[in-house]
Amino acid sequence: MVYNVHERVVPASPEQVWELLMNIGGPGDPLWPQEKGRFRLPEGVRPGAPVEHDPMRYRVGAVEPCRRLWFDTKEMTGGHGFTLHPVEGGTLVRHEIKGRTTGLFRLLWPVLIRRQHDAVLERLLDNLEREARRVGAG
């Protein structure tokens, strides 16, 4: 069983954070660390939409505006995604992976993928925080 969490209090309302998350994987995405490979949502953020995340392909699972954006994967039962929680000073943004790994992913997660995933998520949260401050200042 894998349970991996990254979270950050972002100085913006859940609505503002949600608006920024809706750009993820799209043209000009300011959140995804571009040097960390490709992450695209060619049909946008909607349930069932395809996700291209090198080399994996999966789907958008749940979209609950201003609350939850979840992705369903074959490599891990349970999936992964973001939840937003209003807190004093802004929004607690939490990214969780929950589930059992399958196939080759079971071997690669602990030795290779986890470290890369952790680095990408921390950079993504840095970018989200930066963009939220920029939007709030504008």
pLDDT band at 56 (very low <50, low <70, confident <90, very high): confident
In the predicted structure, residue 108 carries a pLDDT above the cut 70: yes
Integer Cα distance of 25 and 51 in angstroms: 8
How sure is the predictor about 36, in pLDDT bands with cuts at 50, 70 and 90? low
Q: What is residue 96's predicted lDDT score, i.e. its pLDDT? A: 97
Give the mean pLDDT of 120-129: 96
The beta strand positions in the chain, using DSSP E, are 2-10, 39-40, 50-53, 56-64, 68-72, 80-87, 90-99
Looking at domain 2-137, does it have CATH number 3.30.530.20?
yes
pLDDT of residue 138: 53
Dist CA 26 CA 39 (whole Å) = 9
For 76-102, what is each residue's pLDDT tens digit? Answer: 888 999 999 999 999 999 999 998 888
What single letter denotes the amino acid at residue 58?
A: Y
Task: Check if the beta carbon of residue 9 is closer than 8 Å to that of residue 17.
Answer: no
